[in-house]
Structure 1
Amino acid sequence: MPDPKDPQAPPAVKQRIEELAGEVQRLNDAYYAVGDSPLPDAEYDALKDELAALVAEHPELEPADSPLGKVNAPSELTGPTVRHARPMLSLGKATTEEQIRAFCERFPGKVFRVSEKLDGLSLSVVYTGGTLEHVATRGTGEVGELVTEKVRHVVPDLPHAIGEDGRVEVRGEAVMLRSVWSAYNEAHPDRILTNPRSGAAGTLMQKDPEAAAAAGRLLRFFAFGADRDGAPVDIAALDGIEDAATVVCPDADAVIAAIEAIGARRDDLDYDIDGAVVRLHDPAEFDAAGFNSAEPRGAIAFKYPPEERTTKLLAVEWQVGKVGRIAPRARVEPVFVGGVTVENITLHNPRLIRERDLRVGDTVAVVRRGDVIPFAGRAIVEDRDGSEEEIVPPVDCPSCGTELEIRGTGEERWCTNLQCPAQITRRLMHWASRPAADMEGVGNVWIEKLADDGVLQTRADFYRLTAEQLMGYERMGEVSARNTVDAIERSKGLGLRRALIGLAIPMASDGIAKRLCLAGYERIEDVAAATVAELEAIRDIGTKVAESLVAFFARETIVTEIAALRELGVHLDVLDEDRPVDVAAAGDSPLKGATVVVTGAFTHGVTGAKISRPDLTRLVEQAGATASSSVSATTTYLLAGANVGAAKTDKAATLGVEVVDPDTLWGWLKDAGVA
């Protein structure tokens, strides 16, 4: 594109400005009028930033209907509308610490507040005389679309009455929880929602809100401000209204720290956030700061690195897993998303590929959240030029050539040949992994090489390796060979629970291994001899899992391998740490008999080393507590470490559950004699 500063550039620049203005408005219409997000936020922001930069250089070329300087909104509102008592504005954007400090410096000596910037749909909820009067979208900022009846169905937690006099307006964000989004997509593979943000917007566009609610498309409302007849109101004083997590900060340093803390817990939240909102804490000072045409001057949004970007899908490989599932993995042009450079993504299963019409050569939206494997959210079909190629699932196993079976709603391909070389290698890698035998330093590259050479064929073969054997390989010296053999020797004490994990029994998760140990099984042979009925009697083990366990241990190859592991000195009996806890033997502490939820990151109270959540949970159970995964009315304590998300602590506060800090917890564990 020609340089915008070049006096010959205006015709080309004018065309580009018009293209960008039209594209930004098209995207606004797609999201705010239809509930679809054709592009990730980062791509949308980039288009709008480019438009703003060009218009700043050539203001005379800005179209009359330019989306700049306005609230993001559709071209027109199609339903019944209401005029907002005061405008609902967008927020200015910052992406660097310097920009946040510059914002704070505009208000010297002032106090700020920082809150999560929820990624959903802004709503105005108005109560008159304590009764819900109406709910409206932000709309154009001046005028919103009425969605009152829809909200009554799809936002069940929003109270219809609050017991407050006068006209109370609550402003906040309607979001679809990640757990709700995942559950909906699992139940409706034919109508998958692209992401929670689109799920929230699309739900409020549904013509039949009752049907949407019945299908599980439910939203949650978090308030970020409220007033009564124009005067500020404390959200905490409004019965049933859930407010967004907020931190009050006396200066810019505290603001930066709060933004970093929110970013650190971002991946642990059950809802999407794309940034943090910084605003003047005092409502009167915020109002006094005023606003421009689309943004309040007393607030700004800090945007975190994007978790969704677009890139080109280059090729698809079909990988054979440890239990025979053939999983599609795509190679893409490298793209920086979610804090890392991504070159490979998962496509989940053949049905998803077919229903999303993903093709080699497509521009695809890549999604990455936390440590979740990056996946393709959707294809950008508008970018197709006809050269794209259909992705065809294999008919035969890529490793052994066995004809594949098609199973399940995902139309997944499975190799049934237990001697498939790829399956054997994957099973060996899994046995050596940290959750199982934990053979530190025994890498997948060496396992694959030894398997290809026929040296490793069964798990028992690990324990037959000698340093002399390994020294025969290039780049394996005497020290490396000895270290490898020593690591394998140390892994012999893995015990029943980790042995069950390492065997990669179909449908039997890590949690099932723990349940079997807690159920009183002492030896792996005892588990192998159990019947379906006996296994079904154990908590959380259903018929299909029980049948899978029985079928697995009925295989002659497994019987032979277990015997070989025993003969080679591998410990396959339950360890004391995995036995049922003797509550009566626990010392005195408030944990005895309590129901607890563990959340956040912890360090050991004695050694100072990082301690995993499963290990901490085990200590808590040894102190006589029962661990649960979610906060409820039956929860006694929420054990909260560092970087805790607001969802659990807010729920604990609502239910009157005591939140316990790490120092207090370690004191209790010492009292119980387990720390």
Structure 2
Amino acid sequence: MSEPSRLIVGVDVEKRIAELTAEVKRLNDLYYGTGDSPLPDADYDALKDELAALVAEHPELEPADSPLGKVNAPAELTGPTIRHARPMLSLAKATSEEQIRTFCGRFAGQVFRVSEKLDGLSLSVVYVDGKLDYVATRGTGTVGELVTEKVRHVIPGLPTEISAPGRVEVRGEAVMLRSVWAAYNEAHPDRTLTNPRSGAAGTLVLKDPEAAAKAKRLLRFFAFGADRHGAAVEIPAGFEPVAQYVCASAEEVLDAIHEIGGRRDGLDYDIDGAVVRLHEPAAFDAAGFNSAEPRGAIAFKYPPEEKLTTLLSVEWPVGKIGRVPPRAKVAPVFVGGVTVENITLHNPRLIRERDLRIGDTVAVVRRGDVIPFAGRSLPERRDGSEVEIVPPTHCPSCGSELEVRGTGEERWCVNLQCPAQATRRLMHWASRQAADMEGVGDTWIEKLAEDGVLKRRSDFYDLTVEQLLGYERMGEVSAKNMIDSIASSKGMGLRRALIGLAIPMASEGTAKRLCLAGYERIEDIAAATVEDLVAIRDIGPKVAESIVAFFARAEVQEEIAALRERGVNLDVLAEDRPVDAAAAGDSPLKGKSVVITGAFTDPRSGAKISRPDVTRLVEQAAATTASSVSANTDYLLAGDNVGAAKIGKAEKLGVTVVNQDELWRWLAEAGVI
């Protein structure tokens, strides 16, 4: 039997401390290893607070591997690392005004600085003699993980040069803007990001940052301090500083905290609190620090905007590409400035892990314009009438069996003829990245689909002006513009057609790679085997299997034939075709593996040229591109503002560095420009 001192209301304290320790460490590894966590911040903080309270009562029971008093970090860093010149520490937490007054009282007579506490990922950005040397994460606090090359792709606004001599370190926070997060989730419903904070952390653990950049999964960096050789200096020009207030008293500090909190919903980035610290660098340094926290700073955490209500029911609507997400109705509740009646439950795994049930009392969370969601339930309020939420096994629209995909255990309808998906697929075909039917709006597509006029993509090309004039509010000019737009889209070509077909798991990049691999006609791709497709660079087995299965469907083959009959070009266009090997002549690029880095200027116009456009030109010259330098790389194609780290790695591996003047000459010789 446990000792009485180790029991609290029937709970074995030693066992509970062990459980909490294991869970906090698991969540740390999940978040810092994958960029995501099954629990919202408030739930994570509650677990850690419970652990801290138990350990404070029973310090003799704290395990050797306790996460308390340490910087939140994964068990181990997996990438290249570097030791910080000064530790990057966590901050002590305050949740009440009294705690802030107590903190300020310890430093009577001092001046304080209050700034937004951004909810992202802390980074150290180091320059040597004005040139970017490296970027590192906070890591363990003393050792960070190098993410220099990743940052170049996903934080486009980060300065590569500053006007300052010697070693200058800028510290700040990388965040994903709410608008970027919402746009990314809208464009990638099959792999949504839980929230902007997870989006920021997850972006910097991706193995292919260039792909993340192409998918518009971009971050923004806000600086909160800088130093040169350990002495504080002004934040260099080119950086966006965190908003801050200078305060002479505890009351002014509290006013600043309330000011920041009052406008956080209007920001395009998440803040979860306000940082209060000694303003003078000398005073801050003199205050010292403990193992994980500086004594001269504290973070005031705002409570999440949440209210309790009842979960009434759960629906499973079918999305535009077949995803069947859970949507819940709750008893109306006023939260975050609006009355909320519908919330998202994210995915089936989250429902299971949070043990959400119909009839539960749930905390509805709404931050800014983010879709309201159930942060947690309160099991202690259950009366036994609650009902388990069971994900559907068959599509609510067409009745076909659903597939279970991904770590979120999401349900997907794979029936291409599912009525709930048909209209969205038509909209996607008409979109800019596919057929680019500029004169055809989603409202009209929806109307024509409802009337049975549009059932499949080829039906667009049977529409007539006379047919459209039969609709109310459709004028002759609008009808003619729509038909002209549809007619002009017939020249779309193979790459855009592949995008418009919305093949599961096949991205826009996959469409480009298929064209560059030498496929001339869509029928050629339809006849390819998994082995044929896997042989193409960056097309893996799962994507290849998905492509083969898609084109094996009878309805897809019928649709391709129907599009051909109506004069739609489904053959590769010259702009998407690689230069013929013979045409490339003896160009040094032919058959070589290259990595592209830096900023490029088009020699024909003098204008900046994007990295994707440079990649396309290089691939047309019969080269293959990779995202990082390795022993298999033949050339590092370097534009302007290239970091010393990548150049150094290339030289160490014996990879030839080619400047952009030489690159343009090679491309001209290959007939690409």
Q: In the alignment, which residue of structure 2 is the partner of 1:34?
A: 34
Q: Distance in 1 between matches of 2:342 and 2:148?
A: 40
Q: Does 1:207 align with 2:207?
A: yes
Q: Distance in 1 between matches of 2:100 and 2:296?
A: 12
Q: In the alignment, which residue of structure 1 is the partner of 2:70?
A: 70
Matches within 5 A, 1:225-624: 225-235=225-235, 238-307=236-305, 315-316=313-314, 330-331=328-329, 344-347=341-344, 361=357, 367-370=365-368, 374-375=372-373, 388-391=389-392, 394-395=396-397, 405-407=419-421, 531=475, 533=477
Q: Distance in 1 between matches of 2:45 and 2:202?
A: 21
Deviations 1:112-153 (A, max 9, x none): 111110000001111011111111110110111111111111
Deviations 1:456-510 (A, max 9, x none): xxxxxxxxxxxxxxxxxxxxxxxxxxxxxxxxxxxxxxxxxxxxxxxx99999xx
Query: How many residues in Structure 1 have an aligned counterpart in Structure 2?
Result: 408
Quickly say closer, same or farther: Cα 1:389–1:528, change in 2 above 3 A. Answer: closer
Q: Judge conservation of contact 1:312–1:361 (CA < 8 Å) in 2.
A: no
Q: Judge conservation of contact 1:120–1:174 (CA < 8 Å) in 2.
A: yes
Q: In the alignment, which residue of structure 1 is the partner of 2:124?
A: 124
Percent identical residues:
67
Q: Judge conservation of contact 2:173–2:222 (CA < 8 Å) in 1.
A: yes
Q: In the alignment, which residue of structure 2 is the partner of 1:145?
A: 145
Quickly say closer, same or farther: Cα 1:309–1:185, change in 2 above 3 A. Answer: farther
Mark the runs of 5 or more structure 1 residues left unpaired by the alignment. Answer: 320-325, 397-403, 413-503, 509-526, 545-675
Deviations 1:46-74 (A, max 9, x none): 00000000000000000000000001111
CA RMSD of aligned residues (A): 4.2
Q: Judge conservation of contact 1:113–1:249 (CA < 8 Å) in 2.
A: yes
Q: Report the secondary structure of 1:194's partner residue.
A: coil
- How far residue 347 of structure 1 moved from its aligned partner, in angstroms, is 3.7
Matches within 5 A, 1:173-188: 173-188=173-188
Q: Report the secondary structure of 2:23's partner residue.
A: helix
Q: Report the secondary structure of 1:183's partner residue.
A: helix
Q: Report the secondary structure of 1:39's partner residue.
A: coil
Q: Judge conservation of contact 1:305–1:338 (CA < 8 Å) in 2.
A: no
Mark the runs of 5 or more structure 2 residues left unpaired by the alignment. Answer: 318-323, 379-385, 399-417, 427-442, 448-470, 487-673
TM-score, reference length from structure 2: 0.54
Q: Judge conservation of contact 1:345–1:376 (CA < 8 Å) in 2.
A: no
TM-score, reference length from structure 1: 0.54
**Which AA in structure 2 matches 1:277?**
V
Q: Distance in 2 between matches of 1:295 and 1:40?
A: 23
**Which AA in structure 1 matches 2:262?**
A
Q: Report the secondary structure of 1:191's partner residue.
A: coil
Q: Distance in 1 between matches of 2:176 and 2:168?
A: 25
**Which AA in structure 2 matches 1:122?**
S
**Which AA in structure 1 matches 2:420?**
I
Q: Distance in 1 between matches of 2:28 and 2:290?
A: 20
Q: Distance in 2 between matches of 1:327 and 1:346?
A: 11
Q: In the alignment, which residue of structure 1 is the partner of 2:18?
A: 18
Q: Distance in 1 between matches of 2:195 and 2:92?
A: 24
Q: Judge conservation of contact 1:128–1:165 (CA < 8 Å) in 2.
A: yes
Q: Judge conservation of contact 1:42–1:309 (CA < 8 Å) in 2.
A: no
Deviations 1:299-327 (A, max 9, x none): 111111114799995522589xxxxxx99
Q: Distance in 2 between matches of 1:536 and 1:232?
A: 65
Q: Judge conservation of contact 1:40–1:309 (CA < 8 Å) in 2.
A: no
Q: Distance in 2 between matches of 1:201 and 1:90?
A: 16
Deviations 1:403-428 (A, max 9, x none): x951468799xxxxxxxxxxxxxxxx
Q: Judge conservation of contact 1:365–1:376 (CA < 8 Å) in 2.
A: yes
Q: Judge conservation of contact 2:159–2:238 (CA < 8 Å) in 1.
A: yes
Quickly say closer, same or farther: Cα 1:231–1:360, change in 2 above 3 A. Answer: closer
Q: In the alignment, which residue of structure 1 is the partner of 2:569?
A: none
**Which AA in structure 1 matches 2:357?**
G
Quickly say closer, same or farther: Cα 1:64–1:192, change in 2 above 3 A. Answer: same
- How far residue 241 of structure 1 moved from its aligned partner, in angstroms, is 1.2
Q: Judge conservation of contact 2:304–2:365 (CA < 8 Å) in 1.
A: no
Q: Distance in 1 between matches of 2:424 and 2:112?
A: 49
**Which AA in structure 2 matches 1:272?**
D
